[in-house]
Amino acid sequence: MRLLVLKELFASGVLAKAHVEPASDDGWVLRVTKCEGEVLTVTLAAEAGEPKRYARQTAALMDAHRIGFRDVTIKLPEEFVREDGAKLGKTR
């Protein structure tokens, strides 16, 4: 769903939560949950139905903020490259 529509839904009190999750290929996706439980994925404005892929988590967080969310859940991938060291592997 497009950002503009999601802003309107948030202002109407229809949206409950925002989640940033790893995309199936590379990058991140932003999903929002309606109060009744339906999950919507943020889509590109130019291509109807095409999920918007973010290269960085912060870009997805900025869109969540633009929608109106101030609390966002981030789901980390099983394989996560740590920025504080050269170690690769599963997060604990």
- Alpha-carbon distance of 20 to 75, in angstroms, equals 6
For 22-67, write each residue's pLDDT tens digit.
998 889 999 999 999 999 999 987 667 789 999 999 999 999 999 9
pLDDT recorded at residue 52 = 93
**Total-model pTM:** 0.81
Directed axis angle between helix 3-11 and helix 57-67, to 10°? 50
Query: Between 92 and 4, where is the model more confident?
Result: 4
Q: Which of 20, 3, 14 is nearest to 36 (CA)?
A: 14
Three-state SS at 73: strand
Percentage of the chain modeled with pLDDT above 70: 83
Q: What are phi and psi of 35, to 5 degrees?
A: -60, -35
